[in-house]
Amino acid sequence: MHEHFKFHKPYNCLSQFVYEGKRKGSKHLLGEFYQYPQGTMAIGRLDENSEGLLLLTTDGKLSELVRSSKFEKEYYVQVQGIITDEAMDKLRNGVEIGFEGIKYLTQACRVVRINKPEHVALEERRIRNEDHGPSSWISITLREGKFRQVRKMTYAVGFPTLRLVRYRIGKIYLDLGVREVSKLKEEDFL
């Protein structure tokens, strides 16, 4: 019988259990936060600088399904500057980014301006010095997930990502405190 989990991944945590290279600084691995059963894998990844919802499972077929375009992934993104309607329209319609050394046009997606997501538990940490100017928040909902895609997309329209929080995958939402783990049932995914 397979087991499934959701985890509120903190900043500075790698989305893996084993790291072959030399870890710099205080980076953490998934197994440091919970005793997952043998064979548990992250469904997709969040880079070490990103935080939020990470799903884990012992079921490879379920992992493949959730990573597919059948599941929406929603991100809350704090960007440098006050994002313009023009930039949001470009994001919605697809922007050209680099992926594996080639140019890639992202698929159309949903983008809306939001306030700072107070309903989500976030670590209080300094993102940057306020002398660098204002920032704003948007929600981006995708059905694809290339390497560092959201960061590349916001950079391509002139508003670099300062903070990236995955809020939702399919119908599973981030409703945990930072570093908390909760068990899921297979029907939670479907």
Segment 83-123, tens digit of pLDDT: 999 999 999 999 999 888 899 999 999 999 999 999 999 98
Cβ proximity of 40 and 77 under 8 Å: no
Is 47 an active-site residue? yes
pLDDT of residue 164: 97
Cα dist from 116 to 1, 34, 150, 163, 168, whole Å: 40, 29, 18, 11, 16
Catalytic residue of the set 47, 59, 131, 175: 47
User: What are the structural domains, with CATH classification, of the chain?
Assistant: 4-68+171-188 (3.30.70.580), 73-169 (3.30.70.1560)
pLDDT of residue 190: 85
Q: Quick one: how many helices (H) and strands (E) in the chain? A: 3, 11
Mean pLDDT of 51-71: 96
pLDDT of residue 99: 81
**Is a pLDDT exceeding 70 seen at residue 24?**
no
Mean pLDDT of 136-146: 94
Enter the tokens of residue 141: 């909902």
Out of 3-7, 130-134, 136-140, 168-172, pick the least confident.
Answer: 130-134
pLDDT of residue 167: 98
pLDDT of residue 125: 80
Residue type, 52: G
Out of 15-19, 28-32, 177-181, pick the least confident.
Answer: 15-19
pLDDT of residue 23: 58
Enter the tokens of residue 45: 């990844």
Report the sign of the C-alpha dihedral through residues 171, 175, 178, 179, in that order: negative
Mean pLDDT of 4-9: 98
Instruction: Identify which of 31, 37, 34, 36 has the alpha carbon closest to the alpha carbon of residue 16.
Output: 31
What share of the chain in percent tops pLDDT 70? Answer: 94
Residue type, 58: T
pLDDT of residue 11: 94
Mean pLDDT of 133-147: 93
Q: Alpha-carbon distance 81 to 75, whole Å?
A: 18
- What is the average pLDDT value for the chain, to the nearest integer? 93
> pLDDT category, 71, cuts 50, 70, 90?
very high
